[in-house]
């Protein structure tokens, strides 16, 4: 696969996760913090000049983050370690 396309897909999935976290009915507010973390990830993608690929928005936030992780793994040769580590940290927090 093309590393740039995989990065674009990963960003598309992260954007879907933001929307899902913001829309979540979460009285604790944790989902808003997770959305903020995802926005930080979007900033890292922007620093790389990545434009998002439109992906299926029909999944929940955790599934979107899992899909982003798969796409980022496929882009491993061109994906910075900070991006990978940040995504995995958000996934771990979302799983709690």
Q: What is the pLDDT of residue 5?
A: 94
Q: What is the pLDDT of residue 32?
A: 97
Domain boundaries, the chain: 3-95
Instruction: Give the mean pLDDT of 21-42.
Output: 96
Q: What is the pLDDT of residue 77?
A: 87
Residue 89: helix, strand or coil by DSSP?
helix
* Burial of residue 13, with CB atoms counted within 10 A of its CB: 0-12 exposed, 13-18 middle, 19 or more buried: buried
Give the pLDDT band of residue 62 (cuts 50, 70, 90).
very high
Checking if the pLDDT of 1 tops 70, the result is no
The pLDDT mean for the chain works out to 94
78 DSSP assignment: T
Q: What is the pLDDT of residue 74?
A: 94
């Amino acid at each position: 696969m093309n590393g740039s396309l995989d990065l674009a897909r990963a960003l598309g999935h992260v954007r879907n996760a933001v929307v899902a976290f913001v829309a979540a009915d979460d009285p604790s507010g944790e989902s808003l913090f997770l959305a903020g973390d995802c926005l930080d990830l979007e900033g890292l993608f922007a620093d790389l000049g990545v434009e998002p690929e439109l992906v299926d928005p029909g999944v929940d936030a955790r599934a979107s983050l899992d899909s982003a992780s798969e796409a980022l793994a496929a882009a491993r040769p061109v994906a910075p370690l900070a991006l990978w580590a940040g995504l995995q940290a958000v996934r771990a927090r979302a799983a709690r």
